Amino acid sequence: MNKLKTIGFSFVLMTVVLLQACTKDNDLSTQKTDLKVTIENPTDLEAVEIKSGTISFTEINSGNITTSNDFTNNELVISLPEGSYDISFEGEIEYQLDGQTQTSTVRGYQTGLVLSGPTAIATVELFLHSETAGFVIKEIFFTGTGSFEGKTYHGDKYFIIYNNSDEVLYADGLVIAESTFNTTSKTQYTPDVMNEAFTTGTIVMIPGEGEEYPIQPGESFTVANNAINHLELNPNSLDLTSAEFELEMLTTINADNPQVEDLINIFGPMTMHDRGHKSYVLARFETSTEEFLANNKYTYEYLSNSGIPMDRDAYKLPNDWVIDAVNLSVQTTFEWLVTSPSLDMGWTYCAVVNSDDDRYGKSVIRRVLTTTPDGREILKDTNNSTEDFEAGVKPSLMN
């Protein structure tokens, strides 16, 4: 009987301890941090004044969003639950330019701010934002397809580029560049050039002398990995023989269609990461290819996971040359944007987890904003891929 009493007492004691531990954990989860945010005006502008704006705090793990417009003299103090946050700002500024008062839409973004403890500080740099019509990346099918034998199949990936304007545009000389850095692995690289350039090690260019490839308003063109009928090799795939261009890939995986124009490998080739760890930009060189390669080399340094100093070589593609940008990632392992937020303030995905077999046969497709009276679709282009794209949907070229 005494033994039973002892066991009973121990059980009750353990239960109390566990309840106290749970209570303590709950208390910790509701601890708050007083965060002071300084909003920095765009550089190279005079007499800048914020006329309106909203700052949003998104807790990365829970998805909870807190907003405020209660800032004074470009500063705001807010109390937030401890956690990891993305901060974004959207508003309007007034400034002086050539003696004239101008207004402009501005944005700002900071990712991965960890709040822990009673106080913290953060800075959000603003940049001018305008929604301009032109070429946009309409779709990226980067996952490939699974075969009926349970194997992966990668040759059927593609980009679709769309003329989102109301005038004829020419595809000649457009470049597609892939990020060097992964959106799923944030590391402190130096020097940090993100606010001035996109870091890339893979660049391909559409051929042409200037007006060989006209694209009508509301029309698009497809860049295929291999512009063949993949259904002949994999019944789960698609027919890409109607693609306007194809990538010139490694000889071991290149299935060339001689009737489809190859892109020029400036620095490549490009194979497209099938889990979405990379990001892509559409751009035009403002110098010759030779001058770009000679003048835009970028050597960056970082610490490996074991703390060993490392350095790597890449190229800097100036942000001013970029026409459109799309950050890709994995839903549960995203860590950072690898473009300046002035190019893209969001990201989209197909895979929920890093080794998600369900990602195969899925694409990211830009949303339709509106349709003109003559039936031309205007695609959504706010420079925020989270808002602009449908994530993990059926590829548009797959029947």
Backbone angles phi, psi at 19, to 5 degrees: -65, -40
Q: Of 65, 56, 50, 192, give the one whose Cα is nearest residue 122.
A: 56
Q: Is the dihedral of CA 313, 314, 320, 321 positive or negative?
A: positive
Structure tokens at 38: 């300084």
- 317-320-321 Cα angle (round to 5): 55
Model confidence pLDDT, tens digit, residues 283-294 = 999 999 999 999
For residue 2, pLDDT over 80 is answered with no
For residue 42, pLDDT over 70 is answered with yes
Distances (CA, A) of 66 to 52, 79, 81, 105, 117: 17, 10, 10, 21, 19
Could you tell me the maximum CA-CA distance found in the chain, to the nearest angstrom? 96
How would you classify the pairing of strands 261-262 and 245-246?
parallel
Model confidence pLDDT, tens digit, residues 98-147 = 788 889 999 999 888 999 999 999 999 998 887 777 999 999 999 999 87
Taken in order of first residue, the domains within the chain and their CATH numbers are 32-129 (2.60.40.2100), 135-393 (no CATH)
What's the number of CA atoms in the CB half-sphere (13 Å) around residue 171?
27
E strand residue ranges, 61-157: 65-68, 75-81, 83-97, 100-115, 119-129, 135-141, 145-146, 152-153
How would you classify the pairing of strands 245-246 and 220-224?
parallel
Model confidence pLDDT, tens digit, residues 212-269 = 999 999 999 999 999 999 999 999 999 999 999 999 876 666 778 999 999 999 998 8
What pLDDT, on a 0 to 100 scale, did the predictor assign at position 24?
Answer: 36
* Spatial contact of 342 and 193, defined as CB atoms under 8 Å apart: no
> Would you tell me how many other CB atoms lie within 10 Å of the CB of residue 232?
9
CA–CA dist 194, 131 (Å, integer): 21
Structure tokens at 358: 């369900």
Predicted structure pTM score: 0.84
Lowest-confidence region among 3-12, 63-72, 109-118 = 3-12
Beta bridge partners of 366: 389
Confidence category of residue 200, pLDDT binned at 50, 70, 90: very high
Beta bridge partners of 68: 55
Q: Of 260, 258, 251, give the one whose Cα is nearest residue 158.
A: 260
* Spatial contact of 323 and 283, defined as CB atoms under 8 Å apart: yes
